[in-house]
A = this chain, B = another copy of it.
């Protein structure tokens, strides 16, 4: 393979970068920390968005759109929110440029200074709850189940394409409820939506859990998350769902008349996933030949590479394949017949492997005569010659198999790399291996901080439905009732 992809084993980080850039998913831009999402990467995001949007709507949510800008004072209204979000962000201070009187170009007009600075939203709780104040008066207005697809900005100094950039795309759900119970149910429901999406579409097994107080969203009473294992054994938080209690309702004075005609503060949740999931998708499944796309999210599911010498041959092959392409499209399967005559088949094979196209068909004149076709699957790289007759039905089934196989492989890898650890020496040794550690923890922030300081490992989550068992904290030796998941993380 002459694709110039760094080997995963040699340099995981460079391998990842090579896949993103050479696979045509994204590019760095001239704006520090901001990426360009290229068409192939954006097509993956569109597939993710469509699947998630459908799931949100099926669970009763509607979409809306709130302003990009947040008045600076809003960020100060919720005490813990500000600590988490008000720091590294893009600040708009002026609203006009003028021609530079001393020369070329433009300068900021000093006369056009905003009375109050505007912050480019790092997340929208504040502006949304300030709006909900006008929308919620009575229990009849609840629940309010709204989602927003938007761009957000968090000023990051060290950026990595998809995983951490100053601007990224995401969705943020913001719901309002009459009771704490309903809000907690919503928080858990959306965690399930995320987990189902990760497993069924991304072929990515996840651990559902709660964050420790240290790792909670700024302003939440409880943060639920799904945690996934990447190919290097590190953890990636793939989605979060927050129970916000009445914090934002109190900060923005959002009260409603309950059925007993008494005023109460509204209960809130928020939940989100972002283009970071594209990073997770890449790191979970890909290999040294390039991307491996789960069929359900692949921008292109099937490619047909004709092998021909003359245009006449190409036309014959195209004519032969046309009915099959029609059949596949009718089944909702995307397919491309590659007519490009400036590239050789071997080059094309490598290109489609790099792009992670799940199924590749190749057909030359010998196949044409014999009524056969070569079928290659990207996940296992197996090739076989098959009867052309009935190939569409075969491909339909094959795509299901590939989706399942990618998931099974990721699951087996993950399960083989979660290790129960029972003492500190073992912890120090094990944390140097790829994977997660399941260990007892005494429940204190001090221990959590100390472990992070010594090993860079954080508590990824306290798994839901966690078996309760007596044990002692792997670090402090104090008593513990359950194991938690430690890992180094993206």
| Contact residues in B for A151 (Cβ distance below 8 Å) | 68, 150-151
The reply to whether the CB of A118 lies closer than 8 angstroms to some CB of chain B is yes
Q: Per a CB cutoff under 8 Å, which of B29, B43, B68, B130 touches A62?
A: B43
| Contact residues in B for A13 (Cβ distance below 8 Å) | none
With A73-B105, A87-B98, A95-B155 as contacts: A39 and B27 at CB distance below 8 Å: no
| Contact residues in B for A342 (Cβ distance below 8 Å) | 140
Q: Per a CB cutoff under 8 Å, which of B39, B106, B153 touches A63?
A: B39
With A29-B67, A63-B39, A106-B72 as contacts: A88 and B82 at CB distance below 8 Å: no
With A96-B155, A130-B30 as contacts: A64 and B37 at CB distance below 8 Å: yes
With A86-B106, A95-B91, A98-B87 as contacts: A66 and B153 at CB distance below 8 Å: no
With A95-B89, A140-B342 as contacts: A67 and B31 at CB distance below 8 Å: yes
| Contact residues in B for A64 (Cβ distance below 8 Å) | 36-39, 42
| Contact residues in B for A108 (Cβ distance below 8 Å) | 72, 91, 93, 117
Q: Is the CB of B87 within 8 A of A131?
A: no
The reply to whether the CB of A314 lies closer than 8 angstroms to some CB of chain B is no
The reply to whether the CB of A104 lies closer than 8 angstroms to some CB of chain B is yes
Tally of A interface residues using CB under 8 Å: 64
| Contact residues in B for A118 (Cβ distance below 8 Å) | 31, 90
Q: Is the CB of A30 within 8 A of B91?
A: no
* Closest Cβ neighbor of A65 among chain B residues: B37
| Contact residues in B for A328 (Cβ distance below 8 Å) | none
| Contact residues in B for A86 (Cβ distance below 8 Å) | 97, 106
| Contact residues in B for A167 (Cβ distance below 8 Å) | 67-69
Q: Is the CB of B31 within 8 A of A70?
A: yes
Q: How far is the CB of A309 from chain B (nearest CB, A)?
A: 21
Interface centre among A73, A93, A150 (most CB of B within 10 A): A93
Q: Is the CB of B155 within 8 A of A68?
A: no
Once bound together, how far apart are the Cα atoms of A43 and B65, in whole Å?
A: 10
Interface centre among A43, A62, A90 (most CB of B within 10 A): A90
The reply to whether the CB of A184 lies closer than 8 angstroms to some CB of chain B is no
Q: Per a CB cutoff under 8 Å, which of B30, B69, B74, B150 touches A34?
A: B69
Q: Is the CB of B120 within 8 A of A97?
A: no
The reply to whether the CB of A406 lies closer than 8 angstroms to some CB of chain B is no
Interface centre among A38, A64, A72 (most CB of B within 10 A): A64
Once bound together, how far apart are the Cα atoms of A97 and B169, in whole Å?
A: 23
| Contact residues in B for A142 (Cβ distance below 8 Å) | none
Q: Mark A115-133, 1 if CB is under 8 A from B, else 0.
A: 0011110000001001100
| Contact residues in B for A130 (Cβ distance below 8 Å) | 30
The reply to whether the CB of A5 lies closer than 8 angstroms to some CB of chain B is no
The reply to whether the CB of A76 lies closer than 8 angstroms to some CB of chain B is yes
Once bound together, how far apart are the Cα atoms of A46 and B342, in whole Å?
A: 40
Q: Is the CB of A104 within 8 A of B92?
A: no
Q: Is the CB of A62 within 8 A of B42?
A: yes
Q: How far is the CB of A490 from chain B (nearest CB, A)?
A: 21
Chain A contact residues, majority secondary structure: mixed
The reply to whether the CB of A375 lies closer than 8 angstroms to some CB of chain B is no
Q: Per a CB cutoff under 8 Å, which of B68, B72, B93 touches A153?
A: B68
Q: Is the CB of B65 within 8 A of A134?
A: no
| Contact residues in B for A93 (Cβ distance below 8 Å) | 91-94, 108
Q: How far is the CB of A93 from chain B (nearest CB, A)?
A: 5
Q: Is the CB of A97 within 8 A of B119?
A: yes
The reply to whether the CB of A71 lies closer than 8 angstroms to some CB of chain B is yes
| Contact residues in B for A91 (Cβ distance below 8 Å) | 92-97, 108
| Contact residues in B for A62 (Cβ distance below 8 Å) | 39, 42-43
| Contact residues in B for A29 (Cβ distance below 8 Å) | 66-67, 127, 131
Once bound together, how far apart are the Cα atoms of A131 and B30, in whole Å?
A: 8
Q: Per a CB cutoff under 8 Å, which of B89, B95, B120 touches A88?
A: B95
| Contact residues in B for A120 (Cβ distance below 8 Å) | 68, 92, 120
29 interchain pairs, CB-CB under 8 A: A30-B74, A30-B127, A30-B130, A31-B71, A34-B68, A34-B69, A36-B67, A36-B131, A38-B64, A65-B169, A67-B167, A68-B120, A68-B151, A68-B153, A69-B167, A73-B105, A76-B106, A86-B97, A87-B96, A88-B96, A89-B96, A89-B97, A90-B92, A91-B93, A91-B96, A91-B97, A91-B108, A95-B155, A108-B117
> Interface residues, chain A, CB within 8 Å of chain B?
27, 29-31, 34-39, 42-43, 45-46, 62-76, 82, 86-98, 104-106, 108, 117-120, 127, 130-131, 134, 140, 146, 150-151, 153, 155, 167, 169, 342
State the 10 A-B residue pairs at the shortest beta-carbon distance, nearest first: A34-B67, A39-B62, A76-B105, A37-B65, A91-B94, A95-B155, A31-B67, A93-B93, A90-B92, A31-B69
